[in-house]
Structures are given as structure tokens and as C-alpha cells.
């Protein structure tokens, strides 16, 4: 459990701070520092002789990942200011992310099955080194100009608040929502995040300027990202359970089973980059999230003896194609019109909303699935097939709720995102360093 939790807490808790550090200290510099740190922590984890050192290495991975992720996205934001070039850049970014996920799933399965789990960590080190060398040679440095005072009270409260929130959701998954630890952490998270909001509205040098968060189009993009994170993480979780637990797939075969998902995202992201300057973000986000919701609904038809080719594969393709369109346009909307001074923290918000949504989705949908399975078993005679059917009933119930959250993301995109293609182009043209 702590192999996952240590990374999630560090990554989710430090993203906003990491984004602002990238703004102030240089995005290229922090991207390279994040890469080298992530690679080193991966090597440490792969070689760790004890569980404690492995957990510490995973926390370091998350910490350096929280530097690297917003720095990478903000580099794209400040480098490509023309609307068409920016759409292409975000499309390539989405395609690489989707393709990387596919390679990671398959490679992780190969390494786990034929070598050792340690190699799933060790393999990151050479990749990080090669990428860092390329970044040093190719990427231009950029950083915020003008006033660069640090908002220490804001940084402290938001980091502690996000850690408490993510850990609270993690405990809800393992200890239940009524656990005193879960309630205490979630209550502390609410207090800390409210305090952070009050600090930011009164600070002369806020870590997260409200102008970044509350602009209507960006707010719609961040809300869509959060809601989609709930549905997307839940889909991956329960589809993995189904493939391995019900259909009996190995880790390697499961990795290959997700290849069509990643492949469709790559294709959709490339198409979205071409369509974004022509149609604007609103129709692409709305269509994308709606397709993802319908693909998730398709998964509610699975059964114990369902075929991958007829039940899982079509749902994967519809869902992932929709997400490719949605996330390219969402990312562009979240960063459009953001001054160079705020590019890092705005990029961090994209990652933070997905991470918090994913943590909530994992806990909430696990609870829903477990309750549905328990209810099913309570009214059916006990047998091996009944148990299998009960588990699948839990998965399909979770898919219903995951689809609902993707449906809410569709509604949020349609109602809140109003930026036209002309508005996006005008805002990009008006961007100046702050």
C-alpha cells in the first residue's frame, strides 16, 4: 500500500509548490532537476534492500515528479504562443503521454513477469538521463519576471492541505469513510485549504493568484479535469481488476490489453490538435467527455464470460478517443491567456485537479463497488460462480458512477467553457511576460 501511497502523497501535495518554483527558478532548470531527481530516486528504489528505503524512494520520486510535470507543461505554454502552434504542441504532448502509457504498461508487464519488479523502477534512470541531456541541449530557459516574492504561508497551507486530502482519500479506501483517521484528515484538509484560499485573497504575492483559478474558461477546464480524473482512475482500476481477476490475464497480457486504449488516445490527440484552431475548445471538450462517458457505459455490460473483443475493446476505443479530444482542448483552455509569470502554477493546477480527482475516485468507487458486491452476495446463494458474478456486479456498478462523473465533466465543459476559436487566438496573441 505504501509503495503507492508514498508517491501519491508527495506528488499530489507538492504539485502547486513545484509549479511556482518552476516559475521563479527557471522552468528548464526545474525540469532537468526533476528528471535527474526522479531518475535517481527510481534507482534508489530499485536497489532498496528494505521496505522503508523503498517507501522513501517512492516519496522522492513523487517530490521530483511534482517539479517535473508542471515544468514540462509550462515550457510548452511559454514556448508556443501562436494558437495553431500551441494546439499542435499540446496534441504532440498528449500523443506522447498516451504512447508512453502504452509502452509503460507493456514494459512493466514484461519486466515484472520475466525479470523483477525492481526493474520497473531501475529502467527510469537511463530514460531520465537521456531526456535531461536532450533538454539541456534543446530547451530554452524561461522564468517569471518582475516581483518574485515567495508566499510561504500559502505554500505551507496548500501543501499540508493537499497531503491531508490525498491521504484522507487513501485511508477512506482502506479504512472506510467512517474511520476517525479518515474523518480527521479530511476535516484538516478542509480547514487548511480554506485557510489557503483566505491567504491567497489577501496576499500581495500569492502562490496561486485567483485570476488563474477563477477565470470562467479556465475554471471550467479545471473542474472538467477533476471530474474526469474521478472517472478515469476508476475505469483503469476496475478494468484491471476485471482483466486479471475475472478473465485471468497476467500482468503482461493486461498491459497489451490496454494498448488499444493508449493507441486511440494518440490518434485522437493528433486529430484534436488539428481541430482545435478550427472549432475552438468547447465543442471538442464536450464531445470528448461525452464519448468517454458513453465508452464507460459500454463497460457496464461486461459479465463473467464476456469477450475482450466484443465488450472491452470497443469500450476502450470509444472512451480513449474521447479523452484524447477532451484533454488536448482542456489543457489548451487551462493555459490560454495565462501570463508567463503564472504558467508554472497554472500547469500544476491541471495535474493537481487530475491527481485529487483520481484519489477521490479510487476511494469512492472502491467503496461503491464493495457495497454493490456485498449486497449482491447477500441475496444470492453462495457458490464460486455467485462470488465471481458478485465481483463483476461491483465493477459494473463502479463503471456506472464513473460514467456519471464523466457526464458531469461533459456538462461542466458545455456550460462553463465559452472561449471561441477567435477568443483563444486573441488571448494567446495578448500574452505578455508579467
Q: Kindly state the average pLDDT of the residues 365-394.
A: 91
Rounded Cα distance between 224 and 378, Å, is 37
* Torsion over CA: 89, 293, 163, 53 (sign): negative
Assign 3-class secondary structure to 220-274.
HHHHHHHHHHHHHHHHHHHHHHHHHHHCCCCHHHHHHHCHHHHHHHHHHHHHHHH
> Looking at the predicted structure, is the pLDDT value of residue 432 above 50?
no
pLDDT level of residue 106 (50, 70, 90 thresholds): confident
Task: Judge whether residue 423 has pLDDT over 80.
Answer: no
Which pLDDT score, from 0 to 100, does residue 114 have? 85
Residues near 37 by Cβ (< 8 Å), separated by ≥ 6? Answer: 60, 63, 64, 67, 68
Q: In sequence order, what are the residues at sequence separation of 6 or more whose Cβ sits closer than 8 angstroms to the Cβ of residue 147?
A: 205
The pLDDT value recorded for residue 1 is 63
| Torsion of Cα atoms, 239 then 399 then 316 then 391, to 10° | 30
pLDDT at res. 414: 94
Residue range 50-62: mean pLDDT, rounded = 94
**Backbone angles phi and psi of 348, in degrees to 5:** -65, -35
Extract the C-alpha cell encoding 292: 468517454
The position carrying cell 482483466 is 243
φ and ψ at residue 60, rounded to 5 degrees: -65, -40
Judged against a pLDDT cut of 80, whether residue 94 lies above it is answered with: yes
pLDDT at 433: 39
DSSP class per residue in 45-94: HHH-SSHHHHHHHHHHHHHHHHHHHHHHHHHHHHH--SHHHHHHHHHHHH
Rounded CA gap, 353 and 229, in Å? 7
CA dihedral over 120, 391, 383, 249, signed as positive or negative: negative
Res 431 pLDDT > 50 = no
d(CA 137, CA 363): 42
The string of pLDDT tens digits covering residues 113-127 is 888 889 999 999 999
pLDDT band at 418 (very low <50, low <70, confident <90, very high): confident
Give CA–CA dist 306/312, Å, rounded.
8
**Model confidence at 84: pLDDT above 90:** no
- Could you write out the three-class secondary structure of 262-330? HHHHHHHHHHHHHHHHHHCHHHHHHHHHHHHHHHHHHHCCCCCCCCHHHHHHHHHHHHHHHHHHHHHHH
As assigned by CATH, the class of the 2-150+205-430 domain is mainly alpha
Mean pLDDT of 329-345: 85
**Is 28:141 a contact under the CB 8 Å cutoff?**
yes
Q: What is the pLDDT of residue 147?
A: 60
Q: Is the pLDDT of residue 148 over 80?
A: no
**pLDDT, tens digit, for every residue of 180-207?**
999 999 999 999 999 999 999 988 888 8
CB 214 within 8 A of CB 228: no
Please state, in angstroms and as integers, the Cα–Cα distance from residue 178 to each residue in 39, 280, 363, following that order: 39, 44, 13
Of 65, 4, 9, the C-alpha closest to 36 is 65
DSSP symbol at 342:
G
Region class of 337: left (phi > 0), else alpha (psi between -120 and 50), else beta = left
Specify the 3-state DSSP secondary structure of 178.
coil
pLDDT top residue among 109 and 37: 37
Average pLDDT over residues 217-243: 91
**What per-residue confidence (pLDDT) applies to 101?**
74
Distant-in-sequence, close-in-space partners of 411: CB < 8 Å, separation ≥ 6: none
**Comparison of pLDDT for 40 and 20, the residue scoring more:** 40
**Mean pLDDT along residues 216-221:** 91
| pLDDT-derived band at 249, boundaries 50, 70, 90 | very high
For the cut 50, the answer to whether the pLDDT of residue 430 exceeds it is: no
DSSP tag of 204: S
Task: Decide if pLDDT at 49 tops 60.
Answer: yes
Residue boundaries of the structural domains of the chain? 2-150+205-430, 151-204
Range in 173-177, 286-290, 313-317, 413-417 the model is least confident about: 173-177
C-alpha cell of residue 220: 471550467
Q: What is the mean pLDDT of the chain?
A: 89
Q: What is the dihedral of CA 356, 357, 360, 365, to 10 degrees?
A: -160
DSSP, res 254: H
Evaluate if residue 46 carries a pLDDT over 70: yes
Q: Is the pLDDT of residue 422 over 80?
A: no
CA angle, residues 368, 372, 373, in degrees to nearest 5: 120
pTM of the entire predicted model: 0.87
Distance CA 198, CA 205 (A): 13
Average pLDDT over residues 354-369: 90
Distances (CA, A) of 434 to 105, 181, 324, 398: 41, 43, 31, 45
What does the pLDDT average to over 80-96?
Answer: 83
166 burial type by CB count under 10 A (0-12 exposed, 13-18 middle, 19+ buried): buried
The answer to whether the beta carbons of residues 330 and 221 sit under 8 Å apart is yes
> Residue 336 — very low, low, confident or very high, per pLDDT cuts 50/70/90?
confident
Q: Which three cell numbers stand for residue 401?
A: 458512477
Q: What is the pLDDT confidence band of residue 353, given thresholds at 50, 70 and 90?
A: very high
pLDDT-wise least confident of 97-111, 217-231, 333-347 = 97-111
Q: Indicate whether 90 pLDDT > 90.
A: no
Apex CA 11: angle with CA 234 and CA 218, to 5°? Answer: 70
Amino acid at each position: 500500500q505504501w509503495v503507492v501511497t508514498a508517491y501519491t502523497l508527495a506528488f499530489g501535495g507538492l504539485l502547486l509548490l513545484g509549479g511556482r518554483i518552476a516559475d521563479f527558478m527557471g522552468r528548464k532548470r526545474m525540469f532537468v532537476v526533476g528528471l535527474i531527481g526522479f531518475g535517481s530516486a527510481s534507482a534508489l528504489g530499485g536497489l532498496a534492500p528494505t521496505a522503508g528505503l523503498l517507501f522513501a524512494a517512492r516519496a522522492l520520486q513523487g517530490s521530483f515528479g511534482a517539479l517535473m510535470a508542471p515544468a514540462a507543461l509550462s515550457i510548452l505554454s511559454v514556448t508556443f504562443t501562436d494558437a495553431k502552434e500551441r494546439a499542435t504542441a499540446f496534441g504532440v504532448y498528449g500523443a506522447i503521454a498516451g504512447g508512453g502509457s502504452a509502452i509503460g504498461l507493456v514494459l512493466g508487464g514484461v519486466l515484472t513477469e520475466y525479470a523483477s519488479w525492481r526493474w520497473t523502477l531501475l529502467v527510469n534512470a537511463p530514460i531520465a538521463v537521456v531526456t535531461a541531456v536532450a533538454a539541456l541541449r534543446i530547451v530554452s530557459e524561461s522564468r517569471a519576471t518582475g516581483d518574485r516574492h515567495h508566499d510561504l504561508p500559502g505554500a505551507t497551507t496548500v501543501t499540508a492541505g493537499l497531503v491531508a486530502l490525498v491521504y484522507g482519500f487513501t485511508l477512506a479506501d482502506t479504512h472506510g469513510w467512517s474511520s476517525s483517521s479518515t474523518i480527521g484528515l479530511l476535516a484538516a484538509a478542509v480547514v487548511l485549504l480554506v485557510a489557503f484560499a483566505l491567504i491567497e485573497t489577501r496576499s500581495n504575492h500569492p502562490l496561486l493568484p485567483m485570476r488563474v483559478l477563477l477565470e470562467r474558461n479556465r475554471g471550467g477546464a479545471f473542474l472538467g479535469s477533476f471530474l474526469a480524473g474521478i472517472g478515469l482512475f476508476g475505469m483503469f482500476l476496475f478494468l484491471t481488476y476485471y482483466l486479471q481477476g475475472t478473465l485471468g490475464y497476467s500482468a503482461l497480457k493486461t498491459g497489451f490489453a490496454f494498448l488499444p486504449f493508449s493507441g486511440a488516445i494518440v490518434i485522437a490527440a493528433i486529430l484534436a490538435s488539428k481541430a482545435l484552431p478550427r472549432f475552438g475548445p468547447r465543442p471538442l471538450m464536450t464531445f470528448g467527455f461525452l464519448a468517454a462517458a458513453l465508452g464507460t457505459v459500454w463497460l457496464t455490460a461486461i459479465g463473467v464470460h464476456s469477450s475482450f473483443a466484443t465488450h472491452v475493446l470497443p469500450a476502450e476505443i470509444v472512451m480513449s478517443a474521447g479523452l484524447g479530444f477532451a484533454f488536448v482542448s482542456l489543457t489548451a483552455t487551462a493555459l490560454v491567456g495565462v501570463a508567463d509569470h503564472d504558467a508554472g502554477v497554472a500547469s500544476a493546477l491541471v495535474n493537481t485537479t487530475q491527481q485529487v480527482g483520481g484519489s477521490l475516485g479510487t476511494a469512492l468507487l472502491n467503496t461503491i463497488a464493495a457495497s454493490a458486491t456485498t449486497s449482491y452476495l447477500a441475496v444470492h446463494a453462495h457458490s464460486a460462480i455467485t462470488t465471481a458474478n458478485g465481483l463483476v456486479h461491483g465493477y459494473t456498478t463502479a463503471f456506472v458512477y464513473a460514467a456519471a462523473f464523466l457526464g458531469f465533466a461533459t456538462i461542466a465543459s458545455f456550460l462553463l467553457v465559452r472561449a471561441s476559436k477567435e477568443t483563444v487566438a486573441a488571448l494567446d496573441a495578448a500574452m505578455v511576460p508579467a
